[in-house]
Structure 1
Amino acid sequence: MSRLVVVSNRVPLPSERGAKAGGLAVALADALQPGSLWFGWSGRRSARGGGTTHIQRADSITYATVDLSEADYNSFYVNFANGALWPLLHFRLGLLDFHVEDYAGYRAVNRQFAAALVPLLRPDDLIWVHDYHLIPMAAELRALGVTNRIGFFLHTPFVPPEVFYALPRAPDLLANLCRYDVVGFHTRGYRRAFLDCVAQGLGVHPDSDGRFVWSGRPVRAIIDPVGIDADAFSEQAVKASRGNDARMLRDSLGDKALAIGVDRLDYSKGLSNRFVAIGRFFANYPQHRKQISVLQVAARSREDLGAYQRLRRELDRIVGETNGKYSEFDWTPLRYMTRAVKRDTLAGFFRLARLAIVTPLRDGMNLVAKEYVAAQDPDDPGVLILSRFAGAADELPEALIVNPYDADEIAEAMHHGLSMDLAERRERWRSLHKNVCTNNAHRFCTLFLTHLARADTQPERPSLRAIS
């Protein structure tokens, strides 16, 4: 049986628990069987950067990491991956900041990662690379003679040609994506955008199953939405709702309801628009004042970038204005914290919340939406408010779907959710829960790895011949 090798920018080391455990670790839990290898950046910066590969083992899984130098961290991670690729893939061309030296650094780090990974590989390993930081990884491995099946999954949106080709060096990156055997996307729309870029930029016309040939190698683009272990998260929510953190939150609310939002502090999450909408909600529907408090958890991230520093100042301003305008001595409308909160604690908070407000301007999937659904009490479920531009909206149409740019629409959805009768809440929740349980983490891993294991690595077949 082939060994699974996962490659990602950051490796969730065995010592990292609680708030540090990210969505990727949760999504891949089923796939990481004993004997698997997880490779990537250690999260550390050192004077010399790469060179030494650090090995840890836990639960029969090997974690292999390399350090980055300060210069590599800045060019690869801060400047190109998050200063150019991230805004591009979230339709924010006005924030795209491209410098050719940063692109060179991005390529160099992918080359370093490939060189460090090759000695750890076995001939029959299945290699699964994750996310936009590592688009060139397959090309670098192929250059070193690796012939294994290599798959790639993009956890962000993908953009249509009109947006994608605004990035200098976009054709190079697209050709690099085509060095993988399987390329996975959350939604039909993201895959269609990728295939449109392939057709327009490379002169290759994929078939109806997303298959095409590039440089003599068959490639397949698939749709494979990421999920969660809904049953496990539900059990966690029940347990956490009876714990100390949930009890303290409940006591602080008194007889008031709770609405919750949980995001990274990122401009793609629509937090400024959401905070304006919360103010609009209390202005337009004064009957809800002192009846509900909104808790927004927005863990700080990427604070090296000016766009994130400006966002934080903007959010501080809006929160101050909203609370200054509507607070009473015994009630605060918007509770805002920028520290990470442990996942099990959040599970308990989700179960207490009458509303979840998930309104990113763009999002690859958004697992918070699925976690909120899984956490609910079937007898008295809360209501999910969800952006139409989150990948999760394709799977969860029974949520209250909103335009995240429309503050009044979000405010109206909050009022609707709080006014919704129990029968409608239950009916919506049952449909949402069915989808969350069906498109779960196990299905995500199984579907991708099945495609990868069956990938055709032989030279071009006539039925897949490229048509110029």
Structure 2
Amino acid sequence: MILATDLDGTFLAGDPAARHRLYRLVDQHPGIRLIFITGRGLEAVMPLLSDPAIPRPDYVVCDVGATVVDGHTLQPMQPLQSMIDAHWPGEQVVAAAMRPFTALQRQDVPQERRCSYFCDPDTLAPLRSQIQAAAQALGCDVLYSADRYLDILPPDTDKGRTLAALARLLELPRDRILVAGDTLNDLSMYTSGFRGVCVGDSEPALTAATADLKHTFHAQAPGCGGILEAIEHFGLLADDDPFLRPPPQARADGADLVMVYHRLPFDEVMEDGVLVQRPPRSPNGIIPSLLSFFEGGQKGSWVAWGIDEPKRGPFQTHLAVDAERYPTLTAARVPLSKQEVDIFYKRFSKEAFWPMLHVFWERAKFREEDWQVFLKVNRKFAEATAAEAAHGATVWIHDYNLWMVPATLRELRPDLKIAFFHHTYFPSADVFNVVPWRREIIGSLLSCDYIGFHIPRQVENFVDVVRGAMPAERLAWESCAPRFLTYGCAVGLDTMTTRLRVGDREVALGAHPVGTDLRRIHNVLARSDVRNDIFKLRREIGARKLVLSVERLDYTKGTLAKLEAFERLLEQHPDRQGKVTLLMVCVPA
């Protein structure tokens, strides 16, 4: 089956349940191919290609049939595109011919191989023959639809003819093509002889024009619901097709709060051939902070990877985290091979995204094959999370290693409340945009209900990246003071965006500096052995001042810069020599 569908009012319309059902069917069914056929320009279609909720089309026919490209590469479909180009006199020539008709208002949207205007019926009526004559003098056609849109197009070019030519080029079986639309500029698809559906709430002129076409079905439901009706009406899929079955329901005993982080809250080590749990060796402030949410008996799951290899024995998907401190918290382990971990985390995350996020973009190494592993691993995390969560649960995803989890998770479980916290610095748009897959990443993050960052500057950096990738509306904002510095620091701002609308989704944003676990520090300081160690250290240091730096051995931490700064301090203030000591503790990364 090939679904060739208009976008606005058709494939992008309908109630949320129908849209999710159709998108899931098209995305997962191996026997369905998708063609977008739209009046939008290619630039206006591109943001949809970044939306993980919308299936990626195999081909895109846009500009009312004047532009046709491969949906994956966005390269022109030749020789079809060249044939259309050969008959287009050029935008400036057409615009000049239409300039005398001052009642026409040029549409300020991306458009190629067409000139598009707004014009109401009463204004158009006395001018129509003159506009038609001016267009014909250039060898162009005129199309008017929805009592508003006037398009000047290359000759013999419309949605139907371009689709027919594409079907011949690709040798697509015409009896397996279903066209879908809702306005008069879709009429040519029906008159070209394809099976078609006029979805509910279609333009009356289209309904009337197709009333006598026996191969056209007039659906009751609008948008995607109407397309689903047509698939059933024409019998394009078997009644027992497994992809028509509803998705599995959420577990009745699932977790109400699911933490999704790449690391388990404990280390796993082999001792005498047995896999045992140990406290984390590597210092990590995130894990104690996240564990604190489960100290009050909150029932939950912690989704993280576990190494799956034969020498470790049968893989256990679920383990208790700490029966005494966190009796209601379960670790849900995502099985990854050592090779997957090495590529996804140690190589790709650390060699591609880590340097870019810290503005060392020249160090970043982007490999397509590593990106595919990254996607595969993120999907495994999403599937494990979907299996853990109760209906309507809150899922909290953490950091850039899991950027693509929200996209798949939203597809699998639209009922969930999805939050994401970006623990790593989020850079400005001119840095982030070096990432080849930036649109896919931003599209995935926008599948969340809430996205958190450390400071307002990072929120606004994210908003700038979004606005450069797709149309976005700033719905709400708030003053940064008094919580944050405004003009008193290099990264200060006076206001911060708190809610964005992108397409039909609204996403809340916030800034939340994550500090250390103060209760844990106070508890440690209260121990007698720790107090004894503090006494010994003070006696050893004496009257000297001690500057203590504890960090991972990583170029982003500025280790060499600190040493050089301390050296400069002693050079410029020789009286400090012997009175101040710099102690640097660096843990191997």
TM-score range, shorter chain: 0.5 to 0.7
- 1:341 aligns with none
Give the drift of 1:88: 1.2
Q: Give how far 1:182 is off.
A: 0.5
Deviations along 1:386-407, whole A, 9 cap, x unmatched? xxxxxxxxxxxxxxxxxxxxxx
Distance 2:348 2:513 in 1: 26
Q: Provide the C-alpha distance between the structure 1 equivalents of 2:528 and 2:382, rounded to a whole number of angstroms.
A: 41
Which consecutive residues of structure 2, in runs of 5 or more, have no partner in the other structure?
1-253, 268-276, 478-497
Matches within 5 A, 1:285-434: 285-301=573-589
Counterpart of 2:474?
206
C-alpha distance in structure 1 between counterparts of 2:280 and 2:573, whole Å: 37
Partner of 2:360: 92
Q: Structure with the greater relative contact order (CA < 8 A, sep ≥ 6): 1 or 2?
A: 1
1:40 to 283, 288, 304: 304
Residue of structure 1 equivalent to 2:259: 6
Of the candidates 368, 373, 377, which is equivalent to residue 109 of structure 1? Answer: 377
Superposed displacement of residue 47, structure 1: 6.1
Contact 1:37 1:63 in 2 (8 A): yes
- In structure 2, the residue matched to 1:419 is none
Task: Report the Cα offset of residue 123 of structure 1.
Answer: 0.6
Question: Is contact 2:265-2:280 (8 Å) kept?
Answer: no
Deviation at 1:193, TM superposition (A): 0.5
Q: Distance in 1 between matches of 2:433 and 2:456?
A: 20
Please give the per-residue CA displacement for 1:367-401, whole angstroms capped at 9, x wherever unaligned.
xxxxxxxxxxxxxxxxxxxxxxxxxxxxxxxxxxx
- 1:28 counterpart (290, 303, 314): 290
CA distance in 2, matches of 1:62, 1:173: 29
Q: Are residues 1:56 and 2:320 paired?
A: yes
Unmatched segments (≥5 aa) in structure 1? 302-468
Structure whose residues are more often strand by fraction: 2
SS in 1 for 2:293: coil
Q: In 1, are the aligned partners of 2:332 and 2:384 still within 8 Å (CA)? A: no
Contact 1:72 1:109 in 2 (8 A): yes
Bigger shift: residues 69-78 or 212-221: 212-221
Aligned partner of 2:406 in structure 1 is 138
Task: Give the CA RMSD over aligned residues.
Answer: 2.7
1:21-57 deviation digits (Å, cap 9, x = unpaired): 6211222243224212111123x46369997523224
In structure 2, the partner of 1:222 is: 510
Q: Determine which of 525, 531, 535 is the counterpart of 1:243.
A: 531
TM-score for both structures, normalised by structure 1? 0.59
Is the CA contact 2:551–2:585 (under 8 Å) kept in the aligned structure 1?
Answer: yes
Question: 3-state DSSP class of the match of 1:5?
Answer: strand
Q: Which amino acid aligns with 1:286?
A: P
Please report how far the alpha carbon of residue 6 of structure 1 lies from its aligned counterpart in structure 2 after TM superposition: 0.5
Question: Per-residue CA shift, 1:99-147, capped at 9, x if unaligned?
Answer: 0011111110011112223222211311000000001111111232442
CA distance in 2, matches of 1:125, 1:2: 7
Q: Is contact 2:471–2:503 with CA below 8 Å preserved after alignment?
A: no
Contact 1:12 1:21 in 2 (8 A): no
Aligned partner letter, 1:25? I
Q: Which amino acid aligns with 2:571?
A: A
Could you tell me the percent identity over the aligned residues?
Answer: 28
Aligned in 2, Cα 1:75/1:2: closer, same or farther, shift over 3 Å? closer
SS at match of 1:206: strand
Separation in structure 1 between the aligned mates of residue 509 and residue 421 of structure 2, nearest angstrom: 10
Structure 1 pair 86–18 and aligned structure 2 pair: CA distance change class (3 A) = closer
More helix by share: 1
- 2:343 counterpart of 1:75: yes
What is the one-letter code of the residue matched to 2:367?
A: H
Q: CA deviation at 1:3?
A: 1.9
Answer whether contact 1:199 1:206 (CA < 8 A) is retained. Answer: no
Contact 1:51 1:116 in 2 (8 A): no
Give the 3 Å change call, closer, same or farther, for CA 67–83 of structure 1 in structure 2.
same
Residue type at the aligned position of 2:265: P
Selected match of 1:151 from 406, 416, 419: 419
Structure 1, 154-163 or 254-263: larger mean CA deviation: 254-263
Letter in 2 for 1:150: I
Kept in 2: contact 1:184–1:223 (CA 8 A): yes
> Bigger CA drift: 150-159 or 75-84?
75-84
Residue 283 of structure 1 deviates from its aligned partner by 1.9
The alignment of Structure 1 onto Structure 2 pairs a total of residues equal to 300
Tell me what 2:561 maps to: 273
Q: Which residue of 2 aligns with 1:197?
A: 465
Q: Secondary structure at the match of 1:91?
A: coil
**Structure 1 residues 241 and 117, CA, compared in 2 at 3 Å: closer, same or farther?**
same
AA at the equivalent of 2:341: Y
Quote the Cα distance in structure 1 between the aligned partners of 2:517 and 2:351.
Answer: 32
